[in-house]
Amino acid sequence: MFKDLNFKSEFLLVIAFFFFGLIPLVPSKVIPLLTGFSLLLIIIHSLKLKRIKSQKSLFLLNGSLFLILLITLKDGFNFLIFKKLEQMFSLLIFPLVFYFLQREDNYKIRLGFELWKKIFVFSSVLYVFACFYLAYKYVNPKYPNLDANFFRQAILESTYFSRDPAYISLYLNIAIFFCIDFFLTAVKPRYKFFYILFMCVLLLLVIVLQVKMAIIAFVICVTVLLFLKLKLRKFLITIFIIVVLPLILVTQSNSMKFNRFSELFSTNSLSENTQYNSIFVHKQTIICSLEVFKSNFFSGVGLENSNSYVDSCVRSVYSHNKGVVYNSHNQYLSYALHSGILGLVFFVFVLSVALKQSFNKDYILFTLLLYFCISFFTENILERQPGLILFAFLLNIIYVLKIKKYKPSIEI
């Protein structure tokens, strides 16, 4: 397929997608720089192409996710607001860049996207090997057991590979979805073998890190993806192998001090106010966010105040981990706090349009956006660059791809 790319005329486009595919492997602080470099190459490439009649409405709609946040300027402007808006700027720059990219031939864009997916998978696999090497070399008396906390801390204390476990799981799960897609469409058995091997490697670290919502969202989304792409008999067999068995391993590993899922089955999780009960903390952040939202229903409290209002409320109940500033832990509520009911409605509407568009074009894109939508219920993914940039990329590439969706009758 990649032989169809003319590396002389499409050099900048190929380099842009290639470098952007490396984001799982680079430090979090480097991701914005790498992204900016890739987007600059796409802009330069697009400006050399002949102008065509392009759709604007959908890109304006996506750009409105940033513009609606400007409601926060009603109370004035300061350096903190500037930094927050700068952090969210990807929500505006990606629609602009992909608007210009429409000038390129759709087939070449699709080839670039396929290249990005493969580089993304390989980068994710290399990152997994690096993480297990870090764990192999890691020694800390505070974490004597080979449990989720041990592996998390081994990664977090790394100078180069440090990243929040929620974002690691996000990247790994997306890479797994790509592997499933490659496996279902591959013809040669050796390719299928390698994609299965990659899936196992990626899934192993997801299970080890034990990010609850990441695993729950993965199970839901992989079930949806396989249901859309396989016949019933193949669907049931595949679901048992790659969903049910790993889920049993995750939830029943009580003999190892490994199972963060045990909180879900404890009757005291919602009421036990202890340092390591993450479910209680999440419950309090949701309650506090709803209280703040109800008191500021129409215009919110602004970008600069959202976290401080929620944290102040949480601290009236929860006194542990004093160095941590708690946010809403819910992207939908986060938008509501930033810009009121209008921001929340806009956010949900943009997601709804994107889900509909992706479902009509390609099931893998639909699955990825569905994964984000589910994860948004317990994580502020768009509050940090690794999650925001990936989301903005996937949200906007939908509108420059014209891939026909697969028929639900693929045979393995």
HSE value, Cβ hemisphere, 13 Å, CA-based, for 191 = 12
Which residue range forms the structural domain that includes residue 10? 2-400
From residue 144, alpha-carbon distances to 44, 115, 124 in Å are 52, 41, 27
Specify whether the CB–CB gap between 187 and 195 falls below 8 A.
Answer: no
Question: DSSP secondary-structure letter at 9?
Answer: T
Specify whether the CB–CB gap between 231 and 411 falls below 8 A.
Answer: yes
Band (325; pLDDT cuts 50, 70, 90): confident
d(CA 2, CA 168): 29
Band (230; pLDDT cuts 50, 70, 90): confident
Specify whether the CB–CB gap between 141 and 46 falls below 8 A.
Answer: no
Higher pLDDT, 245 or 223: 223
pLDDT of residue 323: 77
Any domain includes 408:
no
> What DSSP letter does each residue of 195-217 carry, written as one string?
HHHHHHHHHHHHHHHT-HHHHHH
Any domain includes 407:
no
Specify whether the CB–CB gap between 289 and 245 falls below 8 A.
Answer: no
Q: How many Cβ atoms are within 10 Å of 44's Cβ, its own excluded? A: 13
pLDDT of residue 223: 87
**Considering its fold, how many domains does the chain have in total?**
1
Specify whether the CB–CB gap between 299 and 69 falls below 8 A.
Answer: no
pLDDT at 20 over 60: yes
pLDDT at 75 over 90: no
Any domain includes 412:
no
Any domain includes 205:
yes
From residue 329, alpha-carbon distances to 35, 41, 220, 379 in Å are 25, 35, 20, 5
Token readout for 81 is: 């607001």
d(CA 24, CA 26): 6
Any domain includes 51:
yes
Across the range 167-172, mean pLDDT stands at 97
Band (321; pLDDT cuts 50, 70, 90): confident
Contacts of 387 (CB under 8 A, 6+ apart): 167, 170, 379, 381
Any domain includes 223:
yes
Higher pLDDT, 99 or 361: 99
Any domain includes 116:
yes
pLDDT of residue 259: 59
Strands (E), 333-390: none
Phi, psi of 373 (to 5 degrees): -60, -40
**pTM, rounded to two decimals:** 0.91
Specify whether the CB–CB gap between 26 and 308 falls below 8 A.
Answer: no
pLDDT of residue 8: 66
- In this structure, of 229-238, 361-370, 376-385, the range with the lowest mean pLDDT score is 229-238
* Terminal-to-terminal C-alpha distance of the chain: 21
pLDDT of residue 264: 62
Any domain includes 92:
yes
Across the range 55-82, mean pLDDT stands at 88
pLDDT of residue 13: 93
> Among residues of the chain, what percentage have pLDDT more than 90?
58
Across the range 354-375, mean pLDDT stands at 94
pLDDT at 262 over 70: no
d(CA 290, CA 286): 6
pLDDT of residue 246: 62
